[in-house]
A and B are shown apart, each in its own frame.
Chain A
Amino acid sequence: MTATSDTQPGSARAPGPSVADTLRSDSIAPPPPLLEQSYQFLGDAEIPFSRYTDTTFFQSEMEKLWPKSWQWACREEHIPDVGDHYVYDIGKWSVIVVRAEDNVIRAFLNVCSHRGTRILSTEGAGYSQSLTCPFHGWSWDLNGQLTQLPGRWDFPHVSDASHGLDEVSCERWGGFVFINIDPQAATLDNYLDCLPDHFKHFPLEQRRIKLHVEKVLPCNWKAAQEAFMEAYHNVETHNAPNGANAQYDIFGKYVSRFIHTIGSYSPESLADYAGDRWRSPPLTETEQLQALGVTDAAAAEQAEQHTARAVAAAIYREQMSADMGVDLSACSDSLMLDSIEYHLFPNMFFFPGISIPMCYRFRPNGMDTDTCIFDLMLLEPIAEGAEHQEPPEPIKLSIDQSYTEAEGLSWLAPVYDEDTGNLQMQQQGFKTSTRGGVTLGNYQESRIRRVHMTLDEFLDAPVTEA
């Protein structure tokens, strides 16, 4: 196969076999959503650097994006019992999610209706049967009703109804609790696009948080997430051959995806990359199997007859079924092996894969334009009907710490160090450059453009009073 014609902008593809070709020849076929393809050319104009560096731009995100868009605040298993709560901070905003009576989950702004004090001080999980402001002791029940007002005689103008907590929109999907600070927000279902349909095949509610790492990164939140939206950087940043022929899909305003195969790659896709490595000669199936951590000779022999991918998937199926107590015997090669990444606007990533089972969230770090917080969770499948255990607390890493300091990340730690190692230099370069903006590939970096286009819809929307 040769490079597809590029007469139409965005229609060119890497030479050699495509991801879809690989998936179609797998030993166990993928569920239908993974064979869907959906790309549209969205333009090729530069994305101005100021969107990453300008404090005015950051401010307008704080006023028009974060209080208007759906975001997951926590997992349902963070708040299993009535009275459990979880505090989620996003820039200047802070939200309390509580499990109230009758299994209803509600969310309130974390702010007192008396003189504005933040009510719960720390982010994360907690518990109490009522919420009390630490300043003068006003207190609300789990439905946000004012229940205690010390010295009520002095507040004839305050009623339980007038000074309840400010409730915000709250819904659930896939085991996540989503909030939208806009009480008038359109429903989550609307916003999730194809996600509910696709994830029927790989339910996220049937997973548990195996590990949660929360790290501060030295760049704007968008630059950080964009480092995870393409596999184009794989060769240079990770010194790995696969990713150059990854598949990119845009499913709508809010949802996009990449599929990047593991255990196979296209030597042709590297035609104009520096050096001959991985091209002549290409890696053998045995070498590709070794790269997946499978080193025994019998498996290598099989790999030369079948493919490294088929052999590795079979081995992973068996091992991971036993480790996790779930039946993966019918799980497709692609779900077993590949890096399949769905993005939900503005800042969330969900991976349906089994050995690459991540979930990401990128947020501004307080009101700082130049740093952000990266939540990284590994979501491991649990057996059908199994009870959720108490999730682990996040391991917090500062801006200078390495992912190797987070216990449990194993081989992934150096990979995340590589991914995040470029970011400080990029944030700096945004400010040095005289070009004006970022240049994006029409196909491989199209997801990044889609996010900026949707972001503009939020920022251009007229301000409405809540």
Chain B
Amino acid sequence: MSDSNYTVVARTEALPAKSSLRVELKGHDILLCHIEAGIFAVTNLCSHAEAQLHEGKLKGHKILCPLHGAAFDVRDGTALTRPATKPLCSYRVKVLGDDILIELPETN
């Protein structure tokens, strides 16, 4: 996988620690999350009933869905609690200088 799949989506100053940021990239609705372990990216749509996760709450390494409260691990998208059972799609993230980059899956 080459670096060319990575695209700049935001500047680091727009994503302080313990915050999240919604970004769009080629039709993908993506949520960037800055947690203690670093910056991670998951799809912004809840796998349960597609609520928008940027309206939810970031707690530690978990994002909590605003609609029915499902919790996901933002590090890899794992669904941690019901009603969600399917994981969120997660994206690779790189920080280069002040830029945050995301890698879109090759199938795109």
Contact = CB atoms under 8 A, between A and B. Distances in A.
Contacts of B71: 122, 126
Interface string B46-62: 00000000001101100
Given A126-B64, A390-B59, A134 B69 contact: no
A290 B31 CA distance: 54
A90 interface: no
A390 B82 CA distance: 23
Q: Which 6 A-B pairs have the closest CB atoms?
A: A128-B69, A132-B68, A134-B82, A134-B83, A127-B64, A127-B57
Nearest to A139: B68
B66 A127 contact: yes
B5 interface: no
Nearest to A132: B68
Contacts of A81: 57
A129 B64 contact: no
A130 B56 contact: no
A128 B68 contact: yes
Contact of A131 (B57, B66, B68): B68
Interface string A80-122: 0101110000000000000000000000000000000000111
A125 interface: yes
A393 interface: yes
Interface in B32-53: none
Contacts of B59: 125-127, 390
Contacts of A139: 68
B69 A120 contact: yes
A133 B83 CA distance: 7
A122 B81 contact: yes
11 contacts: A85-B69, A121-B82, A126-B59, A126-B69, A127-B57, A128-B64, A128-B67, A128-B69, A128-B70, A130-B68, A132-B83
A436 to B, nearest CB: 47
B65 interface: yes
Interface of A: 81, 83-85, 120-122, 125-134, 137, 139, 390, 393
A132 B69 contact: yes
Nearest to B83: A134
Contacts of A133: 83
Contacts of A129: 66-67
A129 B64 CA distance: 10
B30 to A, nearest CB: 21
Given A121-B81, A132-B83, A393 B60 contact: yes
Contacts of B67: 128-130, 132
A127 B81 contact: no
Contact of B66 (A83, A125, A134): A83
A236 to B, nearest CB: 41
Nearest to A85: B69
A134 B69 CA distance: 11
A132 B71 CA distance: 13
A172 B59 CA distance: 24
B45 to A, nearest CB: 16
Given A131-B68, A137-B83, 19 more contacts: A83-B66, A84-B57, A85-B69, A120-B69, A121-B81, A122-B80, A122-B81, A125-B59, A126-B59, A126-B69, A126-B81, A127-B66, A128-B56, A128-B66, A130-B67, A130-B68, A134-B82, A139-B68, A393-B60
Contacts of B57: 81, 83-84, 127
Interface string B67-106: 1111100000000111100000000000000000000000
A84 B71 CA distance: 13
B16 to A, nearest CB: 15
Contact of B69 (A131, A390, A393): A131
Contacts of A85: 69
A131 B80 CA distance: 16
B92 to A, nearest CB: 27
